[in-house]
Structure 1
């Protein structure tokens, strides 16, 4: 049931009688998804590349809004389908073909976990002289493993509690920013520079898009008849507020303390008021990072189990989910131990790689859901391992994904490799726009002869579907999502 603490679900469908939660609880969750000092590092990238504060703020706001649109539209899928985010990809990519975006989503989440573990550990190391970063990382990772293993209910309770602490800390840090730093001077000389502007825009957009593969993992527990528009607005507002707020602080601190790490910069800012308040801020940072790691472990394991289940049928249980979280989470924790203390400097490269793998998927998934199939899907067939009406391999989805990814390659721009198109534009990275247009456009082209009516009849005959006014099921024990 939805009110039990230990969750026994992972990739499976959540029945209507197990749905609970409210839009306010979701607002708190999505605000906290980005509420960590790692988000500030994202906002500092433009400043570190030489972009002035005025244009950094513009790039942060525009990039965050752009990326959050995709994230928010995924949110409405959860209550309607009752499924976590990535298993829904089977409708576009096929039961087995979906392993491609599923693998990318799992890697993204556990990659984020590694950076969050280090950020949380670094926060405590800032105010704890002589402490071992490695031991701190182990502590953050193990605590996150416990929260993620218990499941959805504990994650939601933890995020709700910590949200009040983080808002208080952010208000305090914002006041300190304008009291102790010459912020007005930072805005004085505005000079537009395309390459760092696009770097910041892309980083802020990607940071938001990176959340897209996990959105329905949490909105699926909302009541089924809740307004999809309200759910999307809740996701949009919650994540956008924390992202813009913290990223702008990160941009300011990168200018104020150019030689300090992001975590150290927040510590230096708080120390202006009181060393005791610095300790409190760092403790809050630790807790927020712990929660973020738990979310990453939870959703990463769901994506992994969904991929495996596409090839070998098994029933979702608490034990299986716990084993997956423990095994994969432990690998991420160990990996964090081998990273150098300045590993956050690699975060910009990680963000760039994220967009390359996630943009084609989100383009195909949203185009299919809102334009091609218009939200009419068979949950029963998505959960089948024999392919069901969606088959083993979704030709249109896979081709569109691959084409979008390949089209992006010339526009890649990272410290590792710069594509010829990006070089011609001074290192500016337009790959996200190219991937979106190519994948979405090609998917529409390949599905132009899609027989919506024929599939509607198959979906209507499925025991569990998303048709709001479904025909009466042949058995009184069988129901539909939209009708009873």
Structure 2
């Protein structure tokens, strides 16, 4: 790849190596800027990149939650559409920034949090994505494979884990290719299954057992949390697109992929919850509960797709978990540093999934409810900062070592410290206000978002510039280099 390019960031932070469009090659580097000569792909690809990972059982189980929250079918459907829409819109907005800046989402987070303050959101996401989500999805894939083959659960978990790590190890291009190849089968099977379950469902079975507005807000929080759980990954999968790519197309296809898949499978989960299954099955083996009323042969195909969907989801989880870890600023002097970090996260996720094979349903429930607890405050800071810095040149802040404001980390930490003890409402912990006013449901995300945005706006405005806003943005000289020079920088 010869040619001259304008690299609008320090040369030392350009991703090294020759990668291009190769699929069967390990993506080099870590979380650095992607050279302009390495840019490829098109926005349409984002639709299946974000659809396939949601064609899996964790998405279905989000739709089962209203069964525990005492809602009617109509209330559940409305919460599912609204929550998924909000999470998908925010994903689209974040995705649109990837092509312009050419860096992962957690490097973009440095603009508002600074290099050191960004350790909070990047560290949390590394654990939640690379370990937490990996374990959740591995369990569903394992249960599906075990039910299909009759094998013991541990060998099934090991097989699922190896495939997931392999896809993430090779990196960006193979992740996109795998999601595209899996899309036709997953879409066909899950659309058919969803139509069957919706047709056989008994909406009156969810007759609103006292959930009221509180139950509605619990489902809204869970559905938003699930869709928004992808938000900290957004730019990871758009940073290879050409710098002048149409931002609206990027946002549209990324957001549509999450919205369509989440709404379809969550409604299917709600429909399945209206059908009678053996007592306790949703708690002990939720995948079996989902296919209980489906024709056996189609149920077997569905189990295969649940296992494939788990791989699709965890390929992204491990890849983005590694990206978030690299965004912490820890220097690993190896070309394959991202790939090696992905392996480490995969092993940790395997161990956590192993411990979660029993009582999978209730553990799903708790995990899905707490996802939004940190994402809400992070989004509050990120979007407020984006508004306050509109029209400014923020490129120097991505890798600037002197950019260390404290406003972002204080706002996020304070919002979490206030919202979780007051508004959290799930089985392991109920907040002060949620306990005394159950009708509130779980307002942790909403409260965290608003509090973080307000606190950040205040600190951004009143603190000295170095503490509130960080290093000064300004004119930045582009450096003309050849692709070869960038690769060796």
2:318 is aligned to 297
2:111 is aligned to 91
Structure 1: any 5+ residue segments left out of the alignment?
464-472, 479-484
1:481 is aligned to none
Shift of 1:341: 2.6
1:373 is aligned to 389
| Equivalent residue in structure 2 for 1:425, among 430, 437, 444 | 437
Listed one character per residue, the Cα deviations across residues 1-54 of structure 1 (whole Å, up to 9, x for unaligned) are: 321232113311112221111122111111123221111111111123322211
2:398 is aligned to 382
2:486 is aligned to none
| Equivalent residue in structure 2 for 1:227, among 237, 242, 246 | 246
Q: 1:477 to 1:140 in 2, by over 3 A?
A: closer
Shift of 1:378: 4.2
| Equivalent residue in structure 2 for 1:403, among 407, 414, 429 | 414
Query: Is the counterpart of residue 412 in structure 1 residue 433 in structure 2?
Result: no
Q: 1:402 to 1:135 in 2, by over 3 A?
A: same
Q: Distance in 1 between matches of 2:327 and 2:298?
A: 44
2:290 is aligned to 266
Task: Give me the TM-score of the superposition, normalised by structure 2.
Answer: 0.86
Q: Distance in 2 between matches of 1:364 and 1:323?
A: 31
Task: Give me the TM-score of the superposition, normalised by structure 1.
Answer: 0.87
Indicate conservation of the 8 Å contact 1:104/1:358, yes or no: no
Kindly report which structure 2 residues correspond to 1:27-426, keeping only aligned pairs within 5 A, or say none. 27-109=47-129, 110-129=131-150, 131-179=151-199, 181-183=200-202, 185-186=204-205, 193-258=212-277, 259=279, 260-261=281-282, 262-271=286-295, 275-307=296-328, 309=329, 312-314=330-332, 317-318=335-336, 320-369=337-386, 371-374=387-390, 376-384=392-400, 387-388=401-402, 390-391=403-404, 394-408=405-419, 409-426=421-438
1:459 is aligned to 474
Q: Distance in 1 between matches of 2:300 and 2:289?
A: 13
Q: CA RMSD of the aligned region, Å?
A: 2.5
Q: 1:235 to 1:398 in 2, by over 3 A?
A: same
Q: 1:270 to 1:448 in 2, by over 3 A?
A: same
Shift of 1:190: 9.9
The number of residue pairs the alignment matches comes to 452
Indicate conservation of the 8 Å contact 1:74/1:366, yes or no: no
Shift of 1:351: 2.1
| Secondary structure of 1:269 counterpart | coil
Shift of 1:108: 1.3
Q: Distance in 2 between matches of 1:476 and 1:143?
A: 38
1:18 is aligned to 38
